[in-house]
Structure 1
């Protein structure tokens, strides 16, 4: 249970949102769900394969590695920018209420998934595209209750409302632009990184871990203040 409602399996993200994004990237219906060898590809545009991945990137890690050996691949990994919460009395029923969630996502969330994709990205045949999306999350009552009067809700579906912006990443240098390393900086620790991105240190530690395993930065020393990193020479 999260924030008073029950989350169902991530298949919700693989229904409406996945299908809608697929239509955004495919040139036509015939270019979707294309069988290529042992794999089914979400879309093909010109000579580029497109995989829409709303769930964890770890789920397509091995598939991506095999496809990249022979093909150009664009992995589309949406980050939820805003969420409109809608409630209905039953699946397919009329919406009874709507409100915008105060929570806002940001592009730095992409590092959360890239932790599981460091063996794939970067690659000369790979483009990682991150659309910042506004979604509508439809909730319906679940069979569980949080008391005699308060109903428990579960997420029934997640759909696309709009794409606020998109970001493309082809190299580790593209990712490094997100963390605002000051010009001329040679060595830094995760406390420095947390200050540059205005996030807690534990977030900076995850980002540093990801960048290290992508060979974007090197660990050069251990001090009482933490691990010291340097940007890897080009």
Structure 2
């Protein structure tokens, strides 16, 4: 995460960046004012040693994991609409690949990220659910492939960060609509199906969910997000 010092006295218009300046958000009331503001992916370009390290990631496993691990990250992945792996591994990979793609301004990496983001944005259900569709019957066990617990809250939290980063990098307004609908879905579902409904991971990592809830609140001002934040906080392991 890149941050900017002295944001209280900083004017976003002073930053020489091609990134949409509405991304430089301060907390709305009643949230506490932030001492730092996050810079969107691509606002700062790496040079020298750091650029070399990032390029090594792009040239190595990070940039080619779909080719190395196709049984999990190939077209059968549930986050691409397939009937294969549908839990955390795909979102985890894209969560690192997306910022790398935009920091390096690498067209090939952006092309690898795009199908994951597009499928998630275009396959939201009417009730607001995002992610792999659960199987009607118990899925066949495939060694090394996580096919169960598709409705678990935890993998969604990773994809929420992906969508947040995608918006920060591109300004894609579809993200705002999809996240708003998903968080309304959470507000309705969590009282009856809490974070630890299927696994304990979301119960331990609720802050990952919460940070995107408050980020969206700072953009839209929708007060239902504050109510959702309270529920997520209460359901998260202290």
Q: Determine which structure has the larger strand proportion and give its number.
A: 1
Q: Which of the five TM-score ranges fits, normalised by the shorter chain?
A: 0.3 to 0.5
Q: Determine which structure has the larger helix proportion and give its number.
A: 2
Of structures 1 and 2, the larger Rg is shown by: 1
- TM-score, length-scaled by structure 2: 0.33
- TM-score, length-scaled by structure 1: 0.33
